[in-house]
Structure 1
């Protein structure tokens, strides 16, 4: 005949086991986030993965104002934006106040 052990005794045994093996005692099985706190940090490996950023032409112009370097890609981008605006395909103008807003005009 097997004897049943009192739940109170099992609980105290689990608490003692947790203190010996340095684990958390969680008798109600609540979510504690321990899985995420134990996980290794991702930041350092991400920093190692990406190479160091070299200074851009804009950065060099700020560091050395007399050089006046020209960023060809930026000039092409600005020309493209201006061409789109000339054809009426550019971004819409931003409203300065509430009356100029498109949303306000639709509600009326």
Structure 2
């Protein structure tokens, strides 16, 4: 029985890859194809963890029942306290004359 030439085997392998739509890699170089073909993990992870119900999300739902969001209430109280002490956010300038930056320039 006669041996098949290596060039004929390479041509057969290339043709097989074209037909079955696989990557032709005669030198066995790492391509990462295994990871690119793998199923994505993101959607499964999103479905695994339940959607958390927060106070703002609950308040946006249909219905007249509202819950006091204590963290937001505390934050607003802290902002108000800082304003009373003069430590709040500076007011926006309505015109270039009111701008602090303009008054520094000479």
TM-score by length of 2: 0.51
TM-score by length of 1: 0.50
CA distance in 2, matches of 1:21, 1:106: 73
CA distance in 1, matches of 2:6, 2:100: 72
- Alpha-carbon deviation of 1:47? 1.4
User: Is the alpha carbon distance of 1:35 and 1:105 closer, same or farther for their aligned partners in structure 2, counting shifts above 3 Å?
Assistant: farther
User: Is the alpha carbon distance of 1:79 and 1:48 closer, same or farther for their aligned partners in structure 2, counting shifts above 3 Å?
Assistant: same
Q: Which runs of 5+ in 2 are unaligned?
A: none
1:1-108 alignment runs, 5 A limit: 9=8, 11-19=10-18, 22-25=21-24, 34-54=33-53, 56=55, 59-60=58-59, 63-65=62-64, 67-93=65-91, 99=96, 100=99
C-alpha RMSD over aligned residues = 4.6
- Tell me the matched-pair count: 100
CA distance in 2, matches of 1:89, 1:39: 54
